Structure 1
């Protein structure tokens, strides 16, 4: 899968998440007049949480796919990328592991045992991970831009849910008729 396909897949997933969010917001807007503010607030939080979770999942899939593609490209160049190496690289780069089944499908060699260690050298490992880091940084910048554009569009709809602020008439404070105005010296703490 190419980088553009990864981004296209991410855009489709984010669009789907935000479309569901916006559809729910429109339904909420229609019910706003008969629903309590607390219920609206709780529903908004739940909707935003669902949208965020879907966008986060799409981002994780995009990152994993990119890393797999880079590792597979290095494997096609003749480097001995094993399932264990792929697992360990992904943990170092992402800070978490991915499905063992997916790494097994992509990198396991039938009949190969743990006794048959990878022939990769430290320089190879550094080069592969540097290549992944560079491509991942570029991908993350693109994903962030996509998410920002989509978020701005939803923010306008979200703002339309807010009831207009009521303008309160300015209240003039007037002293009670039976109380004399306070002495400025007493207010400022000057006691002579």
Structure 2
């Protein structure tokens, strides 16, 4: 018991010594340090904003063809223009495409309970969603998540039916990864 008490006292003594040393060596003029930190933070934020503005300007030039294709409501033309963006896809997606209202047409692959699966190409031959995935064609498909109150309207659609759907583009496809596109708040356009 005697050793534990002496050991504890030694530990406490060393801890107090370290705390006093830290306080003594850092007790300089803290207002100067804070001022420097504020200036540095302001400079970093300013540089970040400038870089973000440049990125946005650059994405406008780079993504103009993809944006024009998107606004033309031609899904297949849009997918081809988007594919051409290469490494600039993310910048263009973030600044120009994400959240846009689109009207796309295609062929019903499947009408689910809450979303519609659509193939945009003209060469649809009754393939299932899995078969389209196996053929690396998901980049040319989109999923339309139904908006509230439209489920019954979508359920009337059958595989192979032509359809035009309007919705908010919120999930991007990827050619290399064979990912589909997704729109939300979808409504059938008549």
**Common fold by TM > 0.5:** no
Say which structure is richer in helix. Answer: 1
User: When the two structures are superposed, what TM-score results if normalisation uses the length of structure 1?
Assistant: 0.31
TM-score (norm 2): 0.31
Structure with more of its chain in strand, by fraction? 2
